[in-house]
């Protein structure tokens, strides 16, 4: 998990200040770093051995959450972590895209339950889910612009999601990256190139039936999908359980010199084999996590962590700011959450329990 040599401290800025971020970054790079012919990520991040844990604080809103996420990623890079897992609340509205507004209210349900746009039980549509995931990816693309767009791969689950990102980010110089899909198909448009700004691709050779079946269901390595040879940062956006198997093999292929980040993978909610589960739990560090806690053990509570700080079990009442229930040096188990929850004084709890996913919606509004 730990391999990257780090040489630049990322500034904590929101995407609205992307231009200023790029200008200041270039200035620092010119004075601190001698660029090689290939822009390895290790050339851009400065290690700081004086960094240490600070008292964890809950994010106040979306902007603060993004700031804390950036800081957690930066600290992770300084700690030479090359396998990261980042998770924001389902449907978080970052307000990056023009047609996306940070509006109040709305239930936030598990991504696993949002099967279609018209679900009567869901307060969030699939479009909203996809927009939130895409906006988070956009923030990370901006964050890693110093390594060069050709060295950043943003990998979506299918072609349709890839096409939406290409359309949304078209013409934005701060969104320079290679946009790809890990699975062929998915209703996407046929494009000459799956890589933003890379021009037309070669004509695809037709495959026979047997070859198509082998390509689709082969268990060997990562199948037809591979990251570009010069890829230094790979962002996998909301991967499926099937995608995880491919990502596991991709990680083995590229080695620890390539930074691999899972964005909103929601590993805890995903049904997967024990082998795959153990691999991602062991190899990937949760550098930023804000999601629900075990609800049977701690109803109405949330878990929060920004690397390298401790984990927080928190509860958001209907009125007032989120309250920290307990902190843990490591991710708390269900039993840990239960014990902490039961230690809350009766006077600190309102009558009844608010719906937890609604809590997240009102927290980051």
Tens of pLDDT, residue by residue over 183-224, are: 875 555 544 334 444 333 344 455 554 444 444 444 444 456
- The neighbour count for residue 252, using CB atoms within 10 Å, is 12
List of E strands, the chain: 83-87, 152-156, 178-181, 233-237, 259-263, 285-292, 301-306, 311-315, 323-328
pLDDT at 200 (0 to 100): 37
Backbone angles phi, psi at 141, to 5 degrees: -60, -45
Tokens read off for 201 = 């691709």
Residue 253 CA to residue 221 CA, distance in Å, equals 8
Ranges of residues in the chain whose predicted pLDDT is under 50: 5-40, 42-50, 102-120, 122, 190-204, 209-222, 346, 349, 351-354
């Amino acid at each position: 998990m730990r391999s990257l040599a780090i040489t630049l401290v990322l500034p904590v800025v929101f995407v609205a200040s992307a231009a200023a971020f790029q200008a200041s970054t270039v200035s620092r790079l010119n004075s601190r770093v001698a660029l090689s012919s290939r822009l390895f990520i290790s050339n851009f991040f400065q290690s700081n051995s004086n960094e240490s844990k600070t008292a964890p604080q809950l994010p106040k809103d979306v902007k603060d959450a993004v700031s804390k996420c950036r800081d957690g990623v930066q600290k992770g890079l300084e700690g030479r972590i090359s396998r990261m897992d980042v998770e924001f609340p389902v449907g978080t509205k970052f307000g990056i895209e023009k047609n996306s507004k940070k509006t109040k209210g709305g239930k936030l349900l598990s991504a696993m339950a949002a099967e279609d746009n018209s679900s009567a039980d869901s307060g969030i549509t699939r479009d909203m889910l996809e927009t939130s995931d895409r906006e988070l990816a956009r923030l990370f693309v901006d964050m890693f612009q110093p390594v060069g767009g050709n060295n950043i791969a943003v990998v979506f689950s299918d072609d349709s999601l890839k096409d939406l990102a290409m359309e949304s980010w078209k013409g934005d110089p701060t969104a320079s990256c290679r946009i790809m899909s890990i699975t062929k198909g998915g209703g996407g448009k046929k494009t000459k190139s799956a890589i933003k700004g890379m021009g037309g691709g070669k004509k695809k050779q037709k495959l026979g039936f047997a070859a198509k079946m082998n390509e689709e269901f082969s268990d060997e390595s990562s199948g037809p999908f591979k990251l570009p040879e010069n890829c230094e940062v790979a962002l996998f956006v909301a991967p499926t359980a099937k995608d995880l198997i491919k990502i596991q093999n991709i990680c083995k292929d590229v080695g620890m010199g390539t930074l691999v980040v899972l964005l909103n993978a929601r590993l805890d909610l995903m049904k997967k084999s024990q082998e795959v589960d153990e691999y991602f739990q062991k190899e990937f560090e949760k550098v930023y996590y804000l999601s629900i806690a075990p609800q049977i053990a701690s109803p109405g509570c949330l878990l929060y962590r920004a690397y390298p700080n401790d984990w927080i079990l928190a509860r958001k009442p209907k009125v007032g700011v989120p309250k920290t229930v307990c902190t843990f040096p490591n991710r708390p188990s269900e039993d840990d959450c239960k014990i902490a929850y039961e230690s809350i004084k009766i006077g600190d709890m309102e009558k009844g329990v608010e719906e937890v996913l609604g809590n997240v919606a009102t927290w980051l509004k």
